[in-house]
Amino acid sequence: MTRWRDTMVDQPEADGTAYLTGWTISGAAVLGTVLAVWLLGI
């Protein structure tokens, strides 16, 4: 089996902090959207 790399899947090795921050902001945005839709009943 050949090894493959995908820049959309692999965690960047150079700066793990930026990667973690991006996922944290993204997760907070998703949770905020879900809560807003739930509370506003849209």
Domain definitions of the chain by residue range: 18-42
Give the model's pLDDT for residue 13: 60
Query: How many whole angstroms separate alpha carbon 35 and alpha carbon 30?
Result: 9
Give the model's pLDDT for residue 22: 86
Between 2 and 41, the more confident residue is: 41
The shares of helix, strand and coil residues in the chain, as percent rounded to the nearest 5, are 60, 0, 40
Look at residue 38 and tell me whether its pLDDT is greater than 80: yes
The torsion angles phi and psi of 21, rounded to 5 degrees, stand at: -65, -40
State pTM to two decimals.
0.55
| Centroid of chain to Cα 41 | 25
For residues 4-27, average pLDDT: 74
Give the model's pLDDT for residue 18: 79
For residues 6-27, average pLDDT: 75
Query: What DSSP character marks residue 3?
Result: -
Task: Calculate the average pLDDT of the chain.
Answer: 80
